[in-house]
Amino acid sequence: MTGMRSWTRVAFVLAAATAAFAVSAPDQTPPAVGDTAPAFTLKCLAGQDHSLADFKGKIVVLEWTNPGCPVVQRHYKDGLMPAAQKTAKEKGVVWLAVNSTNPEHSNYREPGELKKTYDEWQAAYTGQLMDADGKTGTAYGAKTTPHIFVIDAQGKIAYNGAVDDDTSGRKPERINYALAAVDALLAGKPVAVTTTQPYGCSVKYK
């Protein structure tokens, strides 16, 4: 009987641990490279709806952004991000900035103010999309601003990570991982570097 009670207690503890794990597990697991990119429909700064499906058959770059982040500011004020956006667009690539800053955070800016700021920074993206509830950022697993995802023409994630290898902003020459992925896809070649550690400020989710 003592042995049976011991096994009963062990079984109860294991069951409780399993239940606790199940409750605390994330609601969704972000897609890996090679997985289908999560669908979304978000409003741009002009208030129009844009869906990932609108760009079917095209390479799409998603750039998580927040103008209150010093790293984002550096990339724009130094001209690095606008230059990458311009280069990609000239090759027929769609470049979408995504802003997942929640409205209660001090970094949140209304669309009109965002447009003014990014115009001053000479942004050359296709558009900036508002993700105030953070659902799209969470679906992709966006962690930082900036954080880059490159989606191939088949709608699969081809790259996930930092925009480049210059975390300090001091390198005279840098590797732009986003553009490298774009060039490989356009050439019909495998992307050499598919994942890197994104760097920057945390995305300001709710």
Closest CA to 126 of 85, 156, 66: 85
pLDDT digits 0-9 by tens, 29-59: 899 999 999 999 999 999 999 999 999 999 9
pLDDT digits 0-9 by tens, 107-125: 999 999 999 999 999 999 9
Domain for residue 82, yes or no? yes
Cβ(143)–Cβ(199) below 8 Å = no
H/E segment holding residue 144: strand 144-145
Domain for residue 89, yes or no? yes
Domain for residue 156, yes or no? yes
Domain for residue 47, yes or no? yes
Q: What are the Cα distances from residue 24, in Å, to 6, 18, 19?
A: 27, 10, 9
What CATH number should be reported for the domain holding residue 125? 3.40.30.10
Structural domain boundaries, residue 175: 30-202
Residue 182 has pLDDT above 80, yes or no: yes
Tokens of 163: 């925009």
Confidence tier at 28 by pLDDT (50, 70, 90): low
Q: What's the structural domain count of the chain?
A: 1
| The pLDDT value given to residue 8 | 37
Q: What are phi and psi of 110, to 5 degrees?
A: -70, 155
- Strand partners of residue 36: 156
| The pLDDT value given to residue 19 | 32
Domain for residue 57, yes or no? yes
pTM for the predicted model, two decimal places: 0.86
